[in-house]
Amino acid sequence: MTQSTPPAFESTLSSLAPQGRTALLPALHAAQEAFGYISDQVAAQIAQALGVPLAEVFGVIEFYTLFHRQPVGEVLLHICNDAACALAGADTVFKQIAFQTSEASGAGQAPTVRVEKSPCLGLCDHAPAVLVQSLPAKASPAQTWQDLVAATATRPLTYVDGDVRLLTALCGRHITVSLQEYRRNGGYQALQMAFEQAPQSIIETIKQSGLVGRGGAAFPTGLKWESAAQAPGSPKFVVCNADEAEPGAFKDRVLMEDNPHAILEGLLIAAYAIGASKGYIYIRGEYLLPYRVMQAAVQEAQAAGLLGERILGSDFSFEIEIRRGAGAYICGEETALFESIEGKRGFPRLKPPFPTTHGLFGKPTVINNVETLANIPLILRLGVEAYRRLGTPQSPGSKLFCLSGDVNRPGLYELSMGASLRHLIEDLGQGMRHGNDFQAALIGGAAGAFATPQHLDVPLSFEGLRAVGIPLGAGVVTVFDSTRDLRDALFRLARFFAEESCGKCYPCQLGTQRQLEIMERVLEGKPLPTDWERLQDVGWTMSDASICGLGQTAASAILSAMQHWPQLFRPPKELQ
Amino acid sequence: MTNQTTVHLTIDNLPVHVPAGTTILKAAQQVGIEIPTICYHDYCTANALCRICVVEVKGARLLVPACTATVQENMQVNTRSERVERARRTILEMLYATVDLSEAPEIEAMATAYGVDRQRFPLAEPRHPPLIDDNPMYIRDYAKCVLCWRCVQVCAEDAQYTYAINFKGRGYETQISTFYEVPMPESTCVFCGQCVGVCPTGALKFKRQHLLEVGYSLDEILQMTRSERSGRRRREPRNV
């Protein structure tokens, strides 16, 4: 279990010390890895080395679920607890493994095993998802935990397909594209093209391309860059948001695992365009494999002179640091992510001011999602005109969709914006599993809304979905067939938000808990007659008054379900 | 100060003129409109986290926290719209299902003003951690804590720079705590008492007041706290 010994931890800590507080999460990860948990002595040692008050180090440890104050066992298993994996029997796997391990404990020589339920692990196409020591393992058919440990896969084999293969041109072959291969396929040509232009002209190109953010908020990328480029203050930062944790989402994982250099190239171009000299890639803590792949890619790029001083003979110098999250969905919220990089609890900040003027370390910052950045080299290489031939006038380009749930072929599909949901499910996903009828699809993830059979021909584009009140979000499509009790999925969503609320603002801190309590009754089929109004008040209060996007969307799927299936939320006749 | 720009806006249809940079909360006070607050304190950094002070600004998609949002030219603010009232009432009702507000008179008054049903959420799970009585100066009854953050703030950069307390857990389970939950005398606390001073709900209370309330006489209290203090000094010499 303990790969590194305490002396190794000591040397890691002293090498991190000059960075101060921003190195807090890296130091805590190092301690967790070295000792299997973070004791008060080790926490005090870290506090001392980085100059952070003791109580604040404690506050940070307590915020992130992957940090433990107590020893957790020599083998740590995470089993997904969210909707797509529940459809594939994750609860049974959990019970089985938990039973076996409790039997095994006290049996002398056996290693101590801890099994934890986890929020979505981004392996929805491999449901039910299991991580063994943070690496994916195949859980199906259900086995013993010893089998799981032995079968730890080096990488999940995600099925990748689509009508368009631009972002995913080199993905889905179950290998990581090397720098050499990336370059053979035209990689880093866009960077060369960028260096031959003024930064402002790149920003113009991105603005004209009509690219909007692919992480869920759909903000125009070119405007974001322009605002940061014009903002006074230095240094400026670019950040790649790879904290993919929306239940049902795994697109950024596949892009990182399969084609890491496309993301690095996008980040380099963004940095050049706004005049940033340092970039961060913040990867969720549960994504150990993508973290390792991205680390290796950064090293390749450094060795080839694509990172560092005077890149490709230009005047532009740039370095990238990769950071790991530690189990907090909220850190996908951009300002919470900055706080996390700064070594703090992931509390979202008040906006305004916005990141483009007051971002990471209070400096002008561009933060873009993985998929957004992967679009950048494409736009430069294809040219605006060719790029805009894809998609619709208001939603140009292609989009990655994470299809999971009750379909025959779950996977990652690249579509031209505007294709229909029916096409995605029936043609690409090869239709419903077991020939069952389509009941609903949760679009956009936990923060999304439901599509029903009447929505099957709605175009999957920002404006097409918005017209029917569904957010495209990050491109998550979780499909439920007619045999499924949607109350189970709704309960899981409520639990997800209650577990992931940071607790800063009252509407979300209190509302996610009250919503969960009501959904517990709904799940049991015993809602109180007045629960309907209660759920509406809680939901609208969170949506209207929360600080950040998490709270503002924590009720969206449930409010959408209340519209489509009001009977689920009403007590049965005999109880009324 | 002399060249400060004046901003013109309306609050509940009343015209208001205030210097640029004024918050909506302060601008409303100038025309006699009191916007309710819980976490806000004049001498603490405003974090806009209780959201009781939210108001509706024409053209804004979401409600806006009056304690931090600054006035803008031609802004139209509504401090008692239906959306505002629903948010305030629901937040208070959820709070009543969570913590003991019996010693929070300001919140009690607010609840009455907004027609709050204090039992709106039946079967809700409250936060009821046990009372912590670990030092001779003050007790900590976090069953009354509304997580306004003021104590954490005055212990840190807002006043004392002592950093004795921070947060344990997150979300609904959040609680104020010392480093690894050590008793207060083992923390960096200097017993300045500022946290007790800013606590709005009686979660932090001076030990003598607490003992008086639970029925001890002044003499008994003097005896108890004196012996506790001297006892502590004998058994555990201070070695900070």
- pLDDT by residue (tens digit) across A358-411? 999 999 999 999 999 999 999 999 999 999 999 999 999 999 999 999 999 999
CA distance A348 to B91: 19
Q: Which of B47, B90, B180 sits opposite A537 (nearest CB)?
A: B90
User: Quick one: what percent of chain A has pLDDT higher than 70?
Assistant: 95
Q: Do A509 and B50 touch (CB under 8 A)?
A: no
Does B235 score more than 70 pLDDT?
no
Q: Output the pLDDT for position B224.
A: 81
Of A150-154, A414-418, A500-504, least confident by mean pLDDT is: A150-154
Q: Is residue A155 part of a domain?
A: no
- Check: CB of residue B49 under 8 Å from CB of residue B2: no
B54 touches chain A (CB under 8 A): yes
Chain A, 338 to 367: residues with Cβ < 8 Å from chain B are 345, 350
The pLDDT of residue A290 is 96
pLDDT value of position A92: 87
pLDDT class for A302, splitting at 50, 70, 90? very high
Identify the domain containing residue A296 by its residue range. 160-388
Residue ranges per structural domain of chain B = 1-126, 138-235
Residue A2, pLDDT score: 43
- Whether residue A152 lies within 8 A of chain B, CB to CB, comes out as no
Residue A132 binned pLDDT confidence (cut-offs 50, 70, 90)? confident
A278 and A353 fall within a common domain: yes
For position A449, which CATH number holds?
Answer: 3.10.20.600
Distance from CA of B29 to the nearest CA of A (A): 22
For B54, the closest chain A residue by CA position comes to A545
Q: List the structure tokens of B60.
A: 């804004």
| Confidence at A99, pLDDT banded by 50, 70, 90 | confident
Q: Which of A429, A487, A488, A425 is nearest to A451 (CA)?
A: A425
Statement to judge: residues A248 and A334 lie in one domain: yes
Interface of A with B in 512-531 (CB under 8 A): 512-514, 517, 521, 528
> Taking a C-beta distance cutoff of 8 angstroms, is the pair A388, A210 a contact?
yes
Q: pLDDT tens across A197-234, in order?
A: 999 999 999 999 999 999 999 999 999 999 999 999 99
Mean pLDDT score, A107-130: 84
Q: Number of structural domains, chain A? A: 5
Q: How confident is the model at residue A106 (pLDDT cuts 50, 70, 90)?
A: low
Partner residue opposite A499 with nearest CB, options B51, B62, B171: B171
Contacts of residue A325, Cβ cutoff 8 Å, sequence gap at least 6:
A25, A64, A243, A282, A283, A284, A285, A331, A340
Q: Are A540 and B54 an interchain contact pair (Cβ–Cβ within 8 Å)?
A: no
**In this complex, how many residue pairs, one in chain A and one in chain B, have their CB atoms less than 8 Å apart?**
146
Burial of residue A470, with CB atoms counted within 10 A of its CB: 0-12 exposed, 13-18 middle, 19 or more buried: buried
Q: Could you say which of B54, B124, B178 has the minimum Cβ distance to residue A545?
A: B54
Please give the pLDDT value at position A345. 98
Is residue A330 a part of any domain in this protein? yes
User: Which of B68, B121, B172 lies at the smallest CB-CB distance from A503?
Assistant: B172
Together in a domain, A225 and A137 = no
> What is the rounded distance in angstroms from the CA atom of residue A24 to the CA atom of residue A12?
12
User: Could you tell me which residue, A342 or A105, shows the higher pLDDT?
Assistant: A342
pLDDT value at position A576?
Answer: 58
Min Cα distance B150 → chain A (Å) is: 13
In a domain, A1, yes or no: no
How many Å lie between the alpha carbon of A538 and the closest alpha carbon of chain B?
7
Residue ranges of alpha helices (H) inside A231-330 are 251-258, 260-274, 288-303
- Check whether residue A213 and residue A356 sit in a common domain: yes
Chain B window 126-165: which residues touch A at a Cβ cutoff of 8 Å? 147, 156, 163-165
Q: How far is CA A342 from CA A345, A350, A527, in A?
A: 9, 16, 44
pLDDT above 50: residue B240: no
CATH class of domain segment(s) B1-126: alpha beta
Nearest CA in chain B to A54: B179
The alpha-carbon gap from A343 to the nearest alpha carbon of chain B, in Å, equals 14
Which of B164, B174, B180 faces A40 most closely, judged by CB atoms? B180
The values of phi and psi at residue B28, to 5°, are -65, -40
Angstrom distance (rounded) from CA A404 to CA A127:
8
Please report, for chain A, how many H helices and E strands are present, in that order: 24, 14
Residue numbers in A near B121 (CB within 8 A): 514, 517, 534
B190-221, pLDDT tens digit by residue? 999 999 999 999 999 999 999 999 999 999 98
Supply the pLDDT for residue B115: 96
Same domain, A52 and A115: no
CA B226 remoteness from chain centre:
31
Q: What's the confidence (pLDDT) of residue A101?
A: 77
pLDDT at B1: 47
CATH code of residue A526? 1.20.1440.230
Partner-chain contact A544 B123, CB within 8 Å: no
Residue whose entry in the numeric block shows the structure tokens 């031609």: B74
* pLDDT at residue number B229: 62
Residue A354 lies in a domain: yes
Supply the pLDDT for residue A5.
Answer: 57
Give the pLDDT confidence score for residue A97 in this predicted structure: 83
Contact B49 A545 (CB under 8 A): no
> Percent of chain A beyond pLDDT 90?
86
> For B152-170, what is the mean pLDDT?
98
Please indicate, yes or no, whether residues A470 and A568 belong to a single structural domain of this protein.
no
Q: Is the pLDDT of residue A141 over 90?
A: no
* Domain match, A197 and A131 both: no
- A502 and A477 in a common domain: no
Instruction: Give the mean pLDDT of chain B.
Output: 94
Residue B81 binned pLDDT confidence (cut-offs 50, 70, 90) = very high
CB A74 within 8 A of CB A104: no
Residue A538 has its nearest CB partner, among B38, B90, B165, at B90
User: What pTM value is reported for the model?
Assistant: 0.95
Note the pLDDT of residue A155.
79
- CA-based Rg of chain A, rounded to a whole angstrom? 23
Interface test with A, best of B24, B89, B91 (most A CBs within 10 A): B91
Q: What is the mean pLDDT of residues A306-332?
A: 97
Read off the pLDDT of residues A65-85 as tens digits, 9 standing for 90 and up. Answer: 999 999 988 888 899 999 999
The ipTM value here is 0.94
What tens digit of pLDDT does each residue of B43-78 get? 999 999 999 999 999 999 999 999 999 999 999 999
Q: How much is the pLDDT for B231? A: 53
Measure Cα distances from A50 to A40, A46, B155 in Å.
Answer: 15, 6, 20
Closest B-chain CA to A327: B170
> What are the tens digits of pLDDT across the range A339-360?
999 999 999 999 999 999 999 9
Would the CB atoms of B178 and A58 count as touching at under 8 Å? yes
Give yes or no for a contact between A225 and A275, defined as CB atoms under 8 angstroms apart: no
Residue A205 lies in a domain: yes
A164/A187 same-domain check: yes
Q: Please tell me the distance in Å from B49's CA to the nearest CA on chain A.
A: 4
pLDDT of A147-167, one tens digit each? 777 766 667 889 999 999 999
What stretches of A36-167 show up as alpha helix (H) in DSSP? 40-50, 54-63, 83-87, 90-104, 145-150
When the pLDDT of each residue in chain A is averaged and rounded to a whole number, the result is 94
Contact A544 B98 (CB under 8 A): no
- Please say which residue of A323, A354, A388 terminates a domain: A388
Residues A118 and A255 in one domain: no
Nearest CB neighbour to A498, from listed B52, B87, B171? B171
Q: Is residue A67 part of a domain?
A: no
Q: With an 8 Å Cβ cutoff, is B177 touching chain A?
A: yes
A477's CB contacts (< 8 A; 6+ apart) are A248, A401, A402, A403, A404, A405, A421, A424, A425, A441, A442, A443
Query: A15 is written with which tokens?
Result: 């090498």
Residue A201 lies in a domain: yes
Domain B138-235 bears CATH identifier 3.30.70.20:
yes
Mutate one of A501, A509, A516, A550 to test the B interface: name it (highest B CB count within 10 A): A509
- Chain B residues 64-123 within an 8 A CB cutoff of chain A: 65, 68, 83, 86-87, 89-91, 93-95, 97-98, 120-123
DSSP H helical segments within B31-162, as ranges? 82-96, 105-113, 150-155
The string of DSSP letters for B63-78 reads -EETTTPBP-TTEEEE
Whether A436 and A476 share a structural domain = yes
Please determine, for residue A188, whether its predicted confidence score (pLDDT) is greater than 90: yes
Each residue's pLDDT tens digit, B94-127: 999 999 999 999 999 999 999 999 999 999 999 9
Q: Give the whole-angstrom CA distance, residue A191 versus residue A109.
A: 56
| Minimal Cβ distance to B95: which of A54, A350, A506 | A506
Nearest chain B alpha carbon to A67: B169
Residue A12 lies in a domain: yes
